[in-house]
Structure 1
Amino acid sequence: MIYLDYAATTPMSEEALAVYVESARTYFGNASSLHDVGTAANELLTICRKQLAQLIRGEEKGIYFTSGGTEANVLAIRSLAYAHRHKGKHIITSSVEHASVHAVCAQLEQEGFTVTYVPVDRFGQVDIEALEQALTDETILVSVQHANSEIGTIQPLQQIGELLKEKQIVFHSDCVQTFGKIPIDVKQLHLDSISIASHKIYGPKGVGAVYVNPSVRWHMWLPNTTHESGFRPGTVNVPGIASFTTAALEAEKKRETVQQNITELRRYFVEQIVKKQLPITVFEHPTDQLPNIVGCLVHGFEGQYVMLHCNRHGIAISTGSACQIGKQAPSKTMIAIGKEEDEAKQFIRLSFGMHTTKSEVEAVVSALEQLQKERMSR
């Protein structure tokens, strides 16, 4: 099977897998236990916090481990919203956020908060002017993703961060799709909080983290929680976190080489689509584009049909964010950038990774070409 769905999840690297096994064998203690076995596990966690913090130019005390990106988004937004509700109850996010962000915002609306969903342009980038106009004296939190999970548009976080810093509004970003792929400097971007996940960078599933600037207040979600300084309940997954950290360090070491290769593969894919005159629209921001995510409209076919066609040819692609699959709904990102519902249902997503080859790209182009030939022969 040719795997072109790396934005959904990635296979574990050999290094991350080896560290997971060794950590599970050696550091099996509960990191909250006071005996030597627990202390050893806690010392390993401390090293992991420090290393992850360094990767994002943050502070060790601000790292809180979670079960993944979704929980990281939910805990970050809830804990920040409730910590600052004495100042107001207005939250701003974008219309193209991950489902987990929209879900927690919808829940907060039921709990008395007001949420504004700012629009995006035809490339999927947040309208800064609309965001600025949406700010009020009641605004306490803004959450804007670093890059869209369906079309890969990178958001102007530094510009947004400078605006919010001036107004002393807390700024959170879902960085799950960008961590390990493009540089993240929380200080330069003026980010108070970010969410990251392990399984997008060749680490194990079920592991993630939230970073909250230690100078920013957050509210304990579940009373009397003791783990992760009260940020998240439950015994900490020490081997998973050690493996996650290994994958993160490895991703940073290989980042420039991998991204250069993926950029070339993306360029080749687009060139082949144009050369063969296939009726496919590839979404691409002219300057702010995450190269590994290739969002497309295959005109004349629903995305689910195209995905199944590719699957029959031994190629794994998707019809959008894995968290939305099976809901028989058009891509929310396509709707947000102005596409009609029928057109939005024609969306597919290819996503390349460190193991993707030119021959695999040629194979998916061939499968898409065959799909068009079958249509013409009807």
Structure 2
Amino acid sequence: MIYLDYAATTPMGPEALRTYQDVAGTFYGNANSLHTRGTDAANVLNVSLETLRQTIGDVSVAITRSGSEANQHVIHRLLSAKQFQGHILSCRTEHPSIRDYLRDLADRYPALQLEDVPVDEQGNIHPKDVEDRIKPDTILATFAHVQHEIGTIRDIRAIGTVLARAGVPFHSDCVQAYGKIPIPMQDAHLSAISTAAHKIHGPKGLGAVFFSKMMEPNDELPPGTADVAAIAAFAEAADMQMKKGREAWTHIGELRAKMAERLPVDFRVLGEIVPERQSPYILGVRLPEMEGQEAMLACDREGIAIATGSACRSGDHGPSETLLALGYSPDRARTFIRLSFAYETSFAEVEEAALKLMNIRSRRAKNAPR
């Protein structure tokens, strides 16, 4: 199968898998135990946490059980400090783990007011729109660095500067950014960012929140026995991802450009046309007169894995909330598909996938009622 759904999840990389096996087999002690096996495991854990911290800078790290939990953990932490009272800025194109959680909190706590900042047709958030909506009681702003369905890279430096002037804590969902583009933690005045191991060839079941040292000076682990092997594999995957750096960006950018070039002319590519403001890892496409769900199933029969949006929306057959926020009608929003790439994606796979998409489109047009 040609796998083009890396934004949903990635396979574990060989280095991370080897690290997991080595640590699980050798350093199997409980890191809370005081005997030698326990202290050996604790040492591996501490080294792994330090490796993760160094991928961002002067931060502390809280390990969670997923990227979604990381988002909710940090939001809950920041809002509870304000007794769940005040004004929150976000937008409709945030990941469901943020959008749905904020709506749930607003229902549970009447003193919370949630306001959506608009996005333009490329998914950008303009700093002036943020500034215009800040109130004296604004207690949190949360905006993703990379939009998870169409891949737009937001100018979080400019947004963070506006928020910092007003003293508003700033959280960014960096699940689609971490390990792929530089994250300006200090320059953007970020209070915290969220990440997920399985988006960067690490193990599933692990996320992380990186807190500014001004916000949270101590590292945190989930309750219970720490999965030292998984955390070590996460750290190894993060280190490998960072080392690929510009080389990966260039290769994947060429893949995305080739796919966009090969798609039928009536397929509409979404996102930013400026390369520096578009993640090459994600290609969002709106199909002509064909629902994304139909295209996804047709692709699966042809041996291609694609998505109709965030995997966390699985089971939700409604139109993409992102496309609705971009101004599309519900019918047009249902025609969305997402292709996503990784360093190991080949040009041959892109060529074959594009050809099969064209064939699917041709068959669909030929069999359409007249």
Give the structure 1 partner of residue 267 of structure 2.
280
Task: Give the corresponding residue for 1:101.
Answer: 98
Q: Deviations over 1:144-169 (max 9, x none)?
A: 11111100011111011111111221
User: What is the CA distance between 1:51 and its match in structure 2?
Assistant: 1.5
Alignment deviations for residues 323-373 of structure 1 (CA, whole Å, 9 cap, x no partner): 002211111110010000000000000001111111111112111211222
Map of 1:75 onto structure 2: 73
Matched, 1:358 2:347: yes
Amino acid at match of 2:246: E
Offset of 1:111 from its aligned partner? 2.1
* Aligned equivalent of 1:63: 61
Q: Is the 8 A contact 2:31 2:40 kept in 1?
A: yes
Aligned to 1:243: 233
SS at match of 1:296: strand
- Per-residue deviation, residues 37-72 of structure 1 (Å, max 9, x unmatched): 22222222221222111111233xx11111120110
TM-score between both structures, scaled by the size of structure 2: 0.94
Aligned-pair CA distance for 1:33: 2.5
Quick one: distance in 2 between partners of 1:158 and 1:266?
A: 26
In structure 1, what is the equivalent of residue 358 of structure 2?
369
For structure 1, the residue ranges without an aligned partner over 5 or more in a row are 219-226
| Equivalent residue runs for 1:15-94 within 5 Å | 15-59=15-59, 62-85=60-83, 88-94=85-91
Quote the residue 1:170 is aligned against.
Answer: 169
Equivalent residues of 1:78, 1:104 under 8 A apart: no
Alignment of 1:106-255 (within 5 A): 106-109=103-106, 110-112=108-110, 113-216=112-215, 229=220, 232-255=222-245
Distance 1:196 1:33 in 2: 28
Partner of 2:285, secondary structure, is strand
CA-atom RMSD in angstroms: 1.7
Alignment partner, residue 261 of structure 2: 271
Q: Percent identity?
A: 40
Return the letter of the residue paired with 1:259: W
1:217 Cα deviation after fit: 5.6
Q: CA deviation at 1:11?
A: 0.7
Q: For residues 149-204 of structure 1, what are the alpha-carbon distances to aligned partners after superposition, in whole Å with 9 as ceiling and x for unaligned?
A: 10001111101111111122111111011111011231122111001111000111
What's the CA shift for 1:228? 5.5
By how many angstroms is 1:232 displaced? 3.9
Distance 1:111 1:34, change over 3 A: farther
Amino acid at match of 2:190: L
Please report the TM-score for the alignment, with normalisation by the length of structure 1: 0.92
Q: Hey, what's the Cα distance between the residues in 2 that align with 1:57 and 1:5?
A: 30
SS in 2 for 1:91: strand
Secondary structure of the 2:157 match is helix
